[in-house]
Amino acid sequence: MPIRVQNDLPIKEVLERENIFVMDEYRAAHQEIRPISIGLLNLMPLKEDTELQILRSLSNTPLQTDVTFVRVSSHVSKNTSTSHIYKFYEPFEEIKRQKFDGFIITGAPVEQIPFEEVDYWEELTEIMNWTVTNVTSTLHLCWGAQAGLYHHYGINKVRLPQKKFGIFPHHVRNRKIPLVRGFDDVFYAPHSRHTDVPRELLEKDERIMILADSDEAGIFLCMAKEGRQIFVMGHPEYDRMTLDSEYKRDLGKGLDIRMPVNYYPENNPENKPQLIWRSHANNLYSNWLNYYVYQVTPYDLYGTPDFS
C-alpha cells in the first residue's frame, strides 16, 4: 500500500529502507483517486516509534492511505520533541470538522490511573464521541481499547496481580467474521499492560462480539456495531525489539519487572527475540482497512449524512 506522509517526516527514510512504498504529498496530489483517509491519535510516549510501527502495519494492501497524525491539546508529551509534535501533528480542534474513513486510538502508559484522572480524559471522550459521527470505523489499541469500552459501554478495567507482559498464544473464536479472515487457529500477539477488561463482562454484553482470546492473556479482539468500533487489547503493531526496550528500561529504573514470557529464546535476554506475530498483525490491519473501511466507506465523505 502506498502510504502518504509529509515529505520531511523523519521515519519516511526508515520506511523506504524497508521497501515500504511511501508516497510524498506532491506525487499523491497527481493521482486521480481518492485515498483512504486515516487519522492516528498517538497517545504513546515515544511518538516516532509508534508512527513507524503503525505505518508498517498499514502498508500491506494496494490501497493508497493518507495518514493524519492527531494530538490532544490537554497534554504535553515529555518523550517526543515539541518541534516534532507541532510540525507533524494536528490538534483535534483543527480536524474535528473533518470526516475520516478510519481512525486509530493508540494505547498509553496510564492504565494504572482511573480514567477520569487522566489529564486528557475529557478531551479523549470528546474525540471518542466525535468518531461515532465522523469516522467509518475506529480501531482502539490496548489502553485505547480499555478506554473505548469504558466510555461507550460502561465496562471498567481491573488491576492485574502482575503485569501481563510478553508474547501470548490466542485462539480465533468466530472465523466467519472478515476481521479474522486468514488467521490461523492459534496466533501470537504481544501484550504489555497492568490492567485488563474482565472476560465475563465482555462475554455477557450482547452489544460486543468477541473474535479472539487467550487462556493466558484474556480477550484479545472484539468489536461492536458491526465493526464500527474495534477493540484490540494487545499491541500487534509492536516490532521485534519493543518489549526488549520496555523490559530493560524498567530494569534500569529498578522496577520490579518480570521477563516478558515466550519472548527471548531460552529465556535469555541476551538472545535476539524471535518475531512470531508480524504476519497476523499485518493481516489484522489489512482486514480492517479492506472490510471495515474501504468496502463500506462512502466515496464522498462530505456529501453523506453522519456515520451514526
Residues carrying an active site annotation: 142, 235, 237
Q: Which residues touch 256 (CB under 8 Å, ≥6 apart)?
A: none
The rounded Cα 72 to chain-centroid distance in angstroms is: 16
- Contacts made by residues 290-293, CB under 8 angstroms, sequence distance 24+: 290/61, 290/63, 290/178, 291/178, 291/179, 291/181, 291/227, 292/102, 292/136, 292/137, 292/178, 292/179, 292/227, 292/228, 292/230, 293/36, 293/38, 293/101, 293/102, 293/136, 293/137
- Partners of residue 140 on adjacent β-strands: 105, 231
